[in-house]
Amino acid sequence: MNQLFDLLIFLVPIYIANAIPVVLGGGMPLDFGLVLPDCERLFGKGKTIRGFIAGVLGGTAAGGLVAMIYVLPFFAGPQQQFIASFVLALGTMTGDAVGSFVKRRAHVDSGRPFVLDTLFFLVMALIFVYPVANGSLYEPFGLAFMLILTVILHPLTNAIANRAGLKKVPW
Ligand code: CTP
Ligand code: MG
């Protein structure tokens, strides 16, 4: 139980970073409108500079607040957990952009659902934080829990954001 709670708390900067651009994104696209020879955008209109930066800052702030209240067993102390929050938020937004890059190469339109939508950002965040976290974060049970939870929560929260008028499409 304790272990599940820790994993939920660990996911805070990742989920916050992923959610914030929906509200705060907009303006100049991350790819500056660049089109590759396959006639598709590098990342597409769904990835903006403001969204990327807001996601990184928001995820870092959320994880930083958590670190002041509760130190996770995956990190050596609050400072390391704060640094990890930044790394996790950066990994999340990078994974999100890489996911869009792959989507565009597969000729899937921006905003359309795609199998990897749900997991790219989580996997990238976990890779990014590897040098900062200790090995207990990467136990098979914990990894499976985080992947399954995210596969369930991501479409659910997207549908809620759509109902709330924050997101144009329900995925
Ligand atoms: N967003 C943003 N900047 C980012 C990421 C997201 O502005 N770096 C905003 C965009 O308004 C985007 C919304 O958040 O439409 C939802 O994000 P996401 O589902 O990741 O993008 P999609 O529009 O689905 O585009 P893609 O197909 O490339 O994933
Ligand atoms: Mg999407």
Q: How far apart are the CA of 66 and the centre of ligand 1, in A?
A: 26
Prediction pTM value: 0.96
With 90 as the cut, is the pLDDT of residue 36 above it?
yes
| Structural domain includes residue 80 | yes
Q: How far apart are the CA of 44 and the centre of ligand 1, in A?
A: 9
Out of 72-86, 108-122, 156-170, the most confident range is 72-86
| Structural domain includes residue 171 | no
Residue nearest to atom 27 of ligand 1 (CA): 110
| Structural domain containing residue 27 | 2-163
Q: For the chain, what is the domain count?
A: 1
Q: Is 25 in the pocket of ligand 1 (CB under 6 A)?
A: yes
| Structural domain includes residue 168 | no
| Structural domain includes residue 170 | no
| Structural domain includes residue 169 | no
Q: Is 52 in the pocket of ligand 1 (CB under 6 A)?
A: yes
Using an 8 Å Cβ cutoff, are 66 and 24 in contact? no
Q: How far apart are the CA of 96 and the centre of ligand 2, in A?
A: 9
With 70 as the cut, is the pLDDT of residue 1 above it?
no
| Structural domain includes residue 7 | yes
Residue nearest to atom 21 of ligand 1 (CA): 46
| Structural domain includes residue 157 | yes
- 3-state SS, the chain, equals CHHHHHHHHHCHHHHHHHHHHHHHCCCCECCCCCECCCCCECCCCCCEHHHHHHHHHHHHHHHHHHHHHCCCCCCCCHHHHHHHHHHHHHHHHHHHHHHHHHHHHCCCCCCCCCHHHHCHHHHHHHHHCCCCCCHHHHCHHHHHHHHHHHHHHHHHHHHHHHHCCCCCCCC
What pLDDT, on the 0 to 100 scale, is given for residue 158? 87
Range in 1-10, 56-65, 138-147 with the lowest mean pLDDT: 1-10
| Structural domain includes residue 101 | yes
| Percentage of the chain lying above the pLDDT 70 cut | 99
Query: 116 versus 85: which is more confidently predicted?
Result: 85
Q: Is 154 in the pocket of ligand 1 (CB under 6 A)?
A: no
